[in-house]
Amino acid sequence: MITHTLGTTQNAFAATTCLMLCFFTATSAQISWSDDAVEKTVATKVVSATVYRDQARVQRSVVIEPSMEVQRIRCTGLPSALVADSVRVEDAHDIDLIGLHLDTHHAVLNPQIEEEKQAWADERRKLDTELRTAQQTESVVEQDLATLEKLVAFSAEKTRDDLNQARLDVGALTQLAEFTMSRRRELATELFQQQAKVQEISDAIERLESQPKPWLRSDAKETSDVILTVRSPGGGSLRLTYQVHNVSWVPVYKVFGTTASVKPGQNAGEPVRLAMDANVIQQSGEDWPMVKVTLAGTSPEYRTSHPQMVPLRISTADSESGLPTDNAFPTTVMPGLGTTNPMSWQQDAALNQMASHQQIAELSRASSVQRQIAPDADQDLADLQFSVPGELDLNCRATPHRLPVMEQALPTEMYRVVMPLLSSYAYHEARITNNSDIPLPGGDADVYLDGRFIGETTLEPTAPGQPMIVGFGSDRQVRTRRELLNRRESIQGGNRRYEMAFRLVVSNFHASPIDIRLFDRMPIAATDGSIDIQLTAEQTTNLSDDPLYLRLSRPAGILRWDMTIPAERHGANALDHHYTYSVEMDKQHSIVGNELADQIQSDLRFQNRNVGGGMGGGFGGGAF
């Protein structure tokens, strides 16, 4: 693929350089803009779109007619969501690209829309004038009424004076009263009419404002044209590519599982059917009719190199002063970085800062197990890419497009998890292996078991060959409880010893045997040597022999027994599982739990990211 980039123009044979969009400035070293070239506007067609998680990369096909003269080609209608400096020209075979210029402007209005806009503005001005006139007339009538009331008040006072002086003019008084009542009725009628007229005009203005105004959206719509200066004696075609904002996609899954074929002692059941759709938001400002759509898992700016690790330099301080706090990393790029990408530099600085805090904590805390996963563990895979079959209409609209992407049957190990310490019920769970060559992005999933909708879950990113753990809801026909049977305390020399005996009760109301993974927990010492905690030798040999469980969960005090519960085993016949562990410590000390909230959150983060959620994280699934 030949890609041209804007910059100092080399000779016509340097066809492997990239043409990056920037503001074209002619210099003596560049081929000058040809003022003599006739500008032609050509129709371009959007042929493909690669949709990333936060934007899209669009390709348009441009046909260049043969000409011995330099041509100036205007490609119109690039959307307002265009990403600055993202326009490129690709696949320009047999075409000499001399220059590229971006012309950003507001879209020209349709003449009919211009007429509608002008008519609307004229009508609004007319109504505004009529409203002001009607309001002014209403105000005058109200003033006339007020003046009339003042005249009545004055006449009444004059009449009282005349009565007091015995010189009342009855005829004049009668005439004044008749005039006052008649005028009051006229003014009241006129005021009512004016108020009605004001209301009528106001309603007309409201109706006018509620009408659609296509010119408002058009006036605000910014568009860009790309002007190409080319020489192509034989003609040909090229691809114009650019990136746009306001486009994104998220995966939406449906997971269909079944328990029908699962037999005791044989956890492998029927494959789980996994269907993935894509919800695509397309609000770039342009329509993409009949295009080839590709969905990508990252973004065009995805970093291709690994993070850079720098030395960790430490020093000492008085114990009273505690650990010194380091200065925050500068937000601007330091000089002397050469060609280092500023974004990559910032990412490396932040990652090394987080890792430094982690290692300082490892050095300063009392001896204990600290398990950490790098912060990018839950990011989607860089090579994730789906080609949606066929050509699709992916037009700009407010609501998402729902695109079917893939559907596969994946090998599954189905079992029940029983955990009386945390729940009274068993839970269906499946260890599903992605045996395809397609990486699966993380996303929300609707879960179905035996044809019934169970609920929603979230799937973590899963590489080819990697397992994922999916919960399929509770099984209310399997009940469980946990009982502390005995707590024996004794003193042995300078130590206090506790012996804790427990019973885990499991009831199976199913008419057939079932396989379960029974979990419980014994404490572990937060610091080495402070407490000695031991499980009895017999129980240790009965624990699950799952290698991943023994590697990750058993050292953390998680106990797991794999067993089969016979059919209809409940009530007095319920299965009882006994186990005992001992705790020994200095008799002057007592047992406490410090920083429980922080420890719980850290462990949950490790387990969830280690397999993709569910009980498999630290309890027998496993990605690492």
Last residue of a domain, one of 324, 348, 379: 379
Predicted pLDDT of residue 538: 80
- Residues 230, 99 share a domain: yes
How far from the centroid of its chain's Cα atoms is residue 450's Cα? 31
Residue 15's domain comprises 3-107+221-245
pLDDT digits (tens, 9 = 90+) for 568-594: 999 999 999 999 999 998 888 888 777
The answer to which of 22-26, 38-42, 275-279, 338-342 has the lowest mean pLDDT is 22-26
Predicted pLDDT of residue 62: 92
Residue 52 lies in a domain: yes
Residue 386 lies in a domain: no
- Residues 165, 77 share a domain: no
Query: How many distinct structural domains can be found in the chain?
Result: 3
Query: Does the pLDDT value for residue 218 go beyond 50?
Result: no
- Residues 20, 145 share a domain: no
Last residue of a domain, one of 355, 379, 403: 379
Give me the helix-helix angle, 111-164 and 170-210, nearest 10°.
Answer: 160
The three-class DSSP label of residue 134 is helix
- Residues 234, 97 share a domain: yes
Exposed/middle/buried for residue 499 (C-beta within 10 Å: 0-12, 13-18, 19+): middle
CA–CA distance, 119 with 614 (Å, rounded to integer)? 64
Query: Does the pLDDT value for residue 102 go beyond 50?
Result: yes
Query: Does the pLDDT value for residue 282 go beyond 90?
Result: yes
Confidence tier at 25 by pLDDT (50, 70, 90): very low
Last residue of a domain, one of 330, 354, 379: 379
Measured in degrees and rounded to the nearest 5, phi and psi for residue 335 equal -70, 160
Residue 607 lies in a domain: no
The percent of residues above 90 in pLDDT, for the chain, comes to 35
Residue 553 lies in a domain: no
Exposed/middle/buried for residue 166 (C-beta within 10 Å: 0-12, 13-18, 19+): exposed
- Residues 91, 18 share a domain: yes
Residue 599 lies in a domain: no
Query: Does the pLDDT value for residue 48 go beyond 90?
Result: yes
Exposed/middle/buried for residue 262 (C-beta within 10 Å: 0-12, 13-18, 19+): buried
- Residues 150, 97 share a domain: no
Identify the bridge partners of residue 403 per DSSP, sorted by sequence position: 278
Residue 133 lies in a domain: yes
Query: Identity (one letter) of the amino acid at 346?
Result: Q
Predicted pLDDT of residue 249: 93
- Residues 10, 96 share a domain: yes
Q: Which residue has the tokens 């493909």?
A: 48
- Residues 83, 225 share a domain: yes
Q: Which residues contact 327 (CB under 8 A, 6 or more apart)?
A: none
Predicted pLDDT of residue 173: 67
Query: CA 195, 199, 200 angle in degrees (round to 5)?
Result: 115
Element of type H or E holding 114: helix 111-164
pLDDT digits (tens, 9 = 90+) for 503-528: 999 999 999 999 999 999 988 887 76
- Residues 99, 241 share a domain: yes
Residue 201 lies in a domain: yes
Element of type H or E holding 47: strand 45-51
The arithmetic mean of pLDDT across residues 96-110, rounded, is 79
The arithmetic mean of pLDDT across residues 115-131, rounded, is 87
- Residues 226, 80 share a domain: yes
pLDDT digits (tens, 9 = 90+) for 148-162: 788 777 777 766 766
Residue 463 lies in a domain: no
Identify the bridge partners of residue 481 per DSSP, sorted by sequence position: 505
Predicted pLDDT of residue 519: 95
- Residues 182, 237 share a domain: no
- Residues 174, 206 share a domain: yes
Query: Does the pLDDT value for residue 422 go beyond 80?
Result: yes
Predicted pLDDT of residue 423: 92
Query: CA 351, 357, 358 angle in degrees (round to 5)?
Result: 90
Predicted pLDDT of residue 336: 47
Where in 297-367 does DSSP place strands (E)? none
